[in-house]
Amino acid sequence: MKKIQQLKESKNPLRDIISFFEGNLRYKLYYSEGLLAYLMREHIREQIDFRIAVMNPKCYEEGQCVICGCDTTALQMANRSCEGLEYPPLMSKDRWKKFKNEKLAVHNGSHSWHMYLGTLVRITEVGNNFDFVEIKRNLCIED
């Protein structure tokens, strides 16, 4: 019932439906063993691990996003970024490699994410100014 209510209140219900199926399918693959585990591409698995590492601890503890109410595990495995702006949208293999090597900023509307000296930074454009928010320090992303 909660999911139906969220869908009714959604600004983009089609995107939310796609994200729901995408996230739940990847959730099954992510926690699978054997052959099913190999169906998930490595750069997607790395980005999911990254998202889990940088997510809001309160969202993790409650099992759902404190901003949008989505189940956190499925939300982190969908392509789109969290409405709480904790992490960027999922990237292609090439873009992910550049991002984790601090050679690419990812943009989504008025927000950008960038890795700088092992720290995830979110930059938000506010009028003519920029707001810099440090999300997580000391991130070690394997290459």
Question: If you write DSSP's letter for every residue of 46-83 in order, what string do you get?
Answer: HHHHHHHHHS-HHHHHHTB-TTT--BHHHHHTSSSPPT
> pTM for the complete prediction?
0.82
pLDDT at 19: 86
pLDDT at 97: 94
Residue 63 phi, psi dihedral angles, 5° rounding = 75, 10
pLDDT at 93: 96
Contacts 24+ apart (CB under 8 A), 2-6: 2/69, 6/68, 6/69, 6/70
Average pLDDT, 10 consecutive residues per value, the chain (143 residues): 60 83 92 89 93 85 81 83 82 94 86 85 81 68 61
Residue type, 79: N
Per-domain boundaries in the chain: 2-136
pLDDT at 65: 81
pLDDT at 59: 86
